[in-house]
Every structure is written in structure tokens, then in C-alpha cells.
Amino acid sequence: MNHRLVLPLFSFLLIFLVNHLIGQTGIGTSTPEPSAQLEVSSTTKGFLPPRMTEAERDAISSPANGLVIYQTDGVVGLYVRNSSAWVKLDDSQNINAGTSTGDMLYWTGSSWDKISVGVPGAVLQLIGTTPTWIANPDIESPVITLNGNASMSVVLNGTFTDPGASSDGGEAIVTTGTVDVSTVGTYTITYTATDATGNIGTATRTVSVFEDITPPVLTLIGNKVIIHILNSSFTDPGINTDGGETYITTGAVDVNTIGNYTITYSASDEVGNTATISRSVLVQEYQTVTSAAGRVWLDRNLGSSQVATSSIDANAYGYLIQWGRGTDGHEVRTSGEIIDYNNSSITPNNGLFFNGLTEDWVYPSNDNLWQGNNAINNPCPIGFRLPTSSEFDTERLSWSSNDNIGAFSSPLKLTMGGLRTYNYGDIAGVDIFGFYWTSNVDGNKSSYFGFDSSNTYSDPSERQNGMSIRCIQE
């Protein structure tokens, strides 16, 4: 036996047996790393994995994850099996592969590519699927303009049509959000537009669905109380409705019979809310007289029940009307009173006499309420109006005396019915003074024609005073 051969062979078998028993293999080392199943150690040679073509690689049956080969054709390099694909191991796998400070990597879907640092002020934007530095970036979002109001309302169970929106760059508008018109609530509609570089602009609209319980607002055309001459034709001036609703009229006026007639107007909106309003038509036995100046006048004061039998005939005094106001019930001598320094309606129609420490019953004052036959609040019957100061003065020139006797002795038979004061609302000067409004204005006041037992006069007075009216034909 050759003992020189037996000893080395025995040593190799012993080392192999020991390594096998402890489950590790070392090549070039007898003490492989504890965590390694196989360690190849060398300072002069490398590890050479199997080398093959791409076709040979793909022909490997059921390659295990982590299997390593070196591909010799196509994209040459070291490949490792990862799940269901072969992944090339090269410099792009090295996250430190940048060459300048600020370089970045991005995954293309199959490999890592480097993104070089951009110039100052540039913005990285995704163009298609590629991150790209934009030196003068578009960072302005589209501007969306709503069609219509930003806040809208729709009645419960009504109809809502979205007016939409538009963008300044013509981008398509995407609308989100809905309005349930069958449920009371506030809903938000959002409009979104995205430009070519991905900037997003939005705008919103709120839509309130509400239950309409408000009836229409009805407004009389003309006076609440219309004074009409017996046996003359009557045309109902009608009303206005705030929503354009059609109204129904009930009641009739018998122009051939003296009396107080009521006309009632009613209107309903689209959801059934109903409102009513009414007016009175006083058919009275007014006649006309022709004065010495040849003008045609009513034969009595407005609101009086008869032609005066004397200058202090209480049945012939008639109404006391505030200047510029229509007949709505306030003119009756026993009407209630109200203090309201903020009234702005020229047709309050409350039937109350305004009083207090102010000169006018409406603010701002309006000089055109009693100007002519078609004046806004003309209290006279159709075809008649308030006289001017000069028309009263022309009549005065024909009187027998400039006092109450001359006033009563004239064809007009004027009376001394006093006035209703603007500050307290009380009636004063009855049987002592006659005060008649004219259509003339004088600054913030208006002119009246007056007389007493010794004089006649024409002066300005506070419009909130109540005075008599004698109408003249247009």
C-alpha cells in the first residue's frame, strides 16, 4: 500500500464528512460563514455562474426564484429569477448610481433609469410616462367660471337644471354631485377641469331645496278705496302679482246703485300657496257744478254724503287725506293712527293715519303722487284730479268775499271741516277753518288753499297733515 496517497485522501474525506455533517460547504475555505450554506473564497479568481443564451435561459424548466445565470446574447448580463420574470442585475439596480448630487432614479416598469438633477427653478412633471424637468413650468390651474349664480334655490319637488360651467383654457368640465329635488336640503355640485400638464381647477355651486310655504304677494293697482260716481262706467284696475301668477276676481260693482262694493282678488303659486287682497269701490251720488270761471268741479268734498247746506255742515265735511296718499281707509275721520318714521311705501294700504314728529308720511318724499289725472295716488274719481293753487285762486277772485261766507256762497259750496294734525293725529279747527289740498309742491311741503271767517290764504304745509279734497275735472 502506498501510504503517501492514503493520508491526503483520508484528510479530504474527513473534511468533507465534517462539513456535510454540519450542513455547510466551503470552497477555498474550511470555515465558511455561519450564515452561508456555500462560501467560495478566493483573492485571485471569481465565481462563474452558468453561461447561456437567452433562449437557453428561457428553456430552463420551472426555474426557482433566486436562480442566477449569465446571459451571453441579446442584453448581455447577469440575470436572477424573480417571481415570474428574469431580472437583469446591472448598474441600474444600484440606487447610488447617480453621478451628481440630486440625481434620482425612477422605475420604468422593467428597469431603473436615472433622472439627472434639473436647473434651478425647474419643476419635475410627468410627461406621458416619463418624468421630465420643465424649466418654465405651467403651474397655473384652470380657472372655472360658473354659469349662473354660485348659490341657487329650487322649490321642493320642482325642477332643477344645472347651468354648468366653463374653463378659461377650454378644458373639459367634469361635474360631480347631484340635487335631489324631492328632499329638502343643501346640495353641492363640484366642477373640475384638468389641463395638459395635470394642473387641476375646481369650482362649486350650492343648491338649496326648500319647501315653499310663502304665498304670492299681491299689489293693488290704484287705490284701496276707489270713489266712483253713480251711473258712470267702472273699469277695475286689477292687481299685480310678484310671481306673475294669474289671479281670479270675485265681486261686482253696481254703478247704478249707491253703495260700498268689495272686489276680492286671489292668486295661487305653482305649489298651491294662495293669497288674497281686496278693495272697496264706493259708488256715490256725486254731481258736477260749473264755476264762475267755467271749470267743472265735483259738487261736494271727497267722502261727503251730501252737498253742503252751510259752511259748517258736518255731513259735507268729507275726508281728511294726507297729501299724496291714496284712499285706503286712513282718510276716514275716525281711522286709527300709526307712528312709523321709516315707511317707504307710497301705497301702504294699512288704513291708518301716519302721525309723529315728521313732515311727510313716506320717505323719501315723492312730489309726483298727485300730479294730474293719471297720478299714482290720485284719490279723485276717474276724469278728475287735485286742483292747482292757481285754479283755486281763480275761483276765489269770483267770490263775494274772501272768507268762509264767500267760499260757501260760490258754486263750490266749500266748508270749514278743519284738518287732522300731522304730529298728534287729532282733528282741529272744525267749524273754524277750511283747508283744501292742491297739487302744488313747495320744497319738502305742499300747498293748500284755506279760509276762515275773515281771510283766505294759500300756504305750504306738512304733507303728513290731513285736509279736505275737492276734485276738478281734467
Residue 390 DSSP SS3: helix
pLDDT band at 271 (very low <50, low <70, confident <90, very high): confident
**Higher-scoring residue by pLDDT: 284, 408:** 408
Specify the pLDDT at position 129. Answer: 80
Which of 373, 259, 262, 279 has its CA nearest to residue 327? 279
Where do the domains of the chain lie? 1-35, 91-134, 144-210, 215-285, 288-473
Q: Give the pLDDT confidence score for residue 21 in this predicted structure.
A: 52
Q: Quote the cell numbers at residue 277.
A: 287682497
Residue 150 has pLDDT above 50, yes or no: yes
From the CB of residue 51, how many other CB atoms can be counted at a distance below 10 Å? Answer: 11
Q: What is the mean pLDDT of residues 9-16?
A: 52
Pair type for strands 25-27 and 38-40: parallel
3-state helix, strand, coil in the chain (%, to 5): 10, 35, 55
pTM comes to 0.57
Please tell me the predicted confidence (pLDDT) of residue 337: 96
| Local confidence band at 111 (pLDDT 50, 70, 90 cut-offs) | confident
Q: What is the pLDDT of residues 198-238, one digit of tens each?
A: 899 999 999 999 998 899 999 999 999 999 999 999 999 99
Q: Which of 302, 296, 333 is nearest to 414 (CA)?
A: 302
Identical fold between 144-210 and 215-285: yes
Pairwise CA distance, residues 213 & 273, whole Å: 6
pLDDT of residue 298: 96
Q: What is the pLDDT of residue 29?
A: 85
Element housing 81 (H / E): strand 77-82
Task: Look at domain 144-210 and name its CATH class.
Answer: mainly beta
Name the more confident of 283 and 102: 283
* 209: CB partners within 8 A, 6+ apart: 153, 154, 155, 156, 160, 179, 180, 181, 183, 184, 185, 186, 187
Please name the helix (run of DSSP H) or strand (run of DSSP E) that holds residue 69, with its range, or none.
Answer: strand 68-71
Count of residues making up the chain = 474
At residue 106, the pLDDT reads: 81
Per-residue pLDDT, averaged over 227-250, amounts to 94
Give 403 or 120, the one with higher predicted confidence.
Answer: 403
Identify the pLDDT of residue 6. Answer: 47
Cβ(310)–Cβ(450) below 8 Å: no
Q: For residue 291, what is its C-alpha cell?
A: 264755476
Q: What pLDDT does 94 receive?
A: 45
pLDDT class of 98 with cuts at 50, 70, 90:
low
Q: State pLDDT tens for residues 129-145.
A: 888 888 777 778 999 99
Does domain 215-285 fall under CATH 3.40.50.80? My reply is no
| C-alpha span between 365 and 445 (Å, rounded) | 9
pLDDT in tens, 324-340: 999 999 999 999 999 99
Structure confidence at residue 5 (pLDDT): 47
Is 14 a residue whose pLDDT tops 80? no
Average pLDDT over residues 437-447: 97
DSSP reduced 3-state for 12: helix
Residue 283 has pLDDT above 80, yes or no: yes
